[in-house]
Structure 1
C-alpha cells in the first residue's frame, strides 16, 4: 500500500466536522493533510446544498492545488446534486449513508479521478423532465433510440462512471479494455468541452443525453 491520501474536512458545523474526521480517518488509506501540505481530496459536509454551500465548494476547488471534493449532505435532491457537480464536486453522499466504508470509497474514488453518485439519485436524475430515461421508460420499444450526441457505448460507460465504478471495473463489465474506457471518457469531455468525469455526467444528465 502506498502513502495515505491527504484529506481535509470542511464543515459549517464544528460537531459535523469532528464526526466526519472520526469516520474518515478510521481508514488507513486516508490521512489528515499535514500542516503546509495541500490535500488531494476535501470532504465537505453540509446540511443542504444551497448558494452559500456552492460558493464554498467553488472556493475549495479554486485553491492552487485544485483538490477534488466529496460533498456529504444531510439533504440531497436532484437539482442540488446537479449544481454541486457543475460547481466541481467529484462525489456526492447523503449523510445517513456516509458510514466509514462508503465515505472511504468515495474519497479514494475521487483521488483516482472517478466520481460517485448514490444509485437512486442517479435514477431520479434520469427521470427528470427532458431526461432520456423517463422518455425511454414510458415510450414503446420503437421509440427507445439512443439519445442524440452520445453513442450507446458512451452512454453505457457514463452510466457506470456515475455509479462510481473505476476504469478497470467498467472495462470488465462492458468487455472493453481499460484503455478503451479511458478513451471513451476523454472523447466525451473533449467533444463537449467538459472539465472531468463528474462534469461529463452532470452535463449529460442536464441536457438529456443519458
Structure 2
C-alpha cells in the first residue's frame, strides 16, 4: 500500500470545511493536511459556480505545490461543467453527493490524474450540444463533434499543450512550462482547432475530453 494522498480543504463556511475534513478522515488512503500545506489535492467548497469560484480554482492550481482541485458546489448547472474543467478542476461534485466515500473516491481519482464529473452531467457533456462556450460567457451554444471523428488523435506535443490549456493556462505560461516559444504554442492550438473543425481553445478542450484524448 502506498503513501496516503495529502489533501486540504478550502471553504468559505467553517462548518462545511469541518464536515469535509471529517469525511476525509474516514478514508485510510487520504491524509488531511493544514490548509496551505503541501497537498496533492485541494477540495474547494463553494455555493455556486460563478467567476469568483472559478478564480479560486485557478488560484489554487497555481499554488506553489500545484495541487489538483476537486470542486464541491451546492448548485452546478450542466452548462457550467466545462467552465469548471477548463479552470483546472479534476473533480466536480454537488454538495448533496459529497458523502465520505464519494468524496474520497473523487479525491483519489484526481490525485491519479483522472477527471470525475457527476454521471448525469457527463451524459450532457458527451452530447452533441453543450449549453455554453468557454471564453465567450455563459449561455452560448457550442456543438462538440463526435469522438469517432477524432482521426489520428493528438501528438504528444499537442496533448501536452492542450492539457495545459484545459488547466486554464495562458499562452505565455504554457510556453514557459514546455520550453516552447509563444508562437509555437499558438500554432499548435491553431492546428488542433483547424484539423478538428473547432471554434476556439475552449471548444478544443471540450472536444478532447469528450474524445478521450486528454
TM class by shorter chain equals 0.5 to 0.7
**Pairwise mapping of residues 49-198 of structure 1 onto structure 2 (< 5 A)?**
49-127=49-127, 128=129, 129-132=142-145, 146-147=148-149, 150-151=150-151, 187=155, 190-191=158-159, 193-195=161-163
Gaps of 5+ in 2: 130-141, 168-200
Cα gap change, 1:15/1:207 in structure 2, threshold over 3 Å: closer, same or farther? same
Cα distance between partner residues in 2 of 1:191 and 1:68? 18
Contact 1:82 1:206 in 2 (8 A): no
What SS does the corresponding residue of 1:79 show, helix, strand or coil? Answer: helix
How many positions carry a matched residue from both structures?
165
Cα distance between partner residues in 2 of 1:105 and 1:196? 24
- Residues 193-202 or 19-28, more deviating: 193-202
Q: CA RMSD in A?
A: 3.1
Cα gap change, 1:74/1:34 in structure 2, threshold over 3 Å: closer, same or farther? closer
Cα distance between partner residues in 2 of 1:51 and 1:12? 15
- Normalising by structure 2, we get a TM-score of 0.66
Cα gap change, 1:36/1:93 in structure 2, threshold over 3 Å: closer, same or farther? closer
Which structure dedicates a bigger proportion of its chain to strand? Answer: 2
What SS does the corresponding residue of 1:72 show, helix, strand or coil? Answer: strand
Contact 1:189 1:197 in 2 (8 A): no
Cα distance between partner residues in 2 of 1:36 and 1:73? 21
Gaps of 5+ in 1: 134-144, 155-185
Cα distance between partner residues in 1 of 2:7 and 2:81? 22
Cα distance between partner residues in 2 of 1:204 and 1:53? 20
Contact 1:45 1:71 in 2 (8 A): yes
* 1:190 CA drift (Å): 2.3
* 1:31 CA drift (Å): 1.1
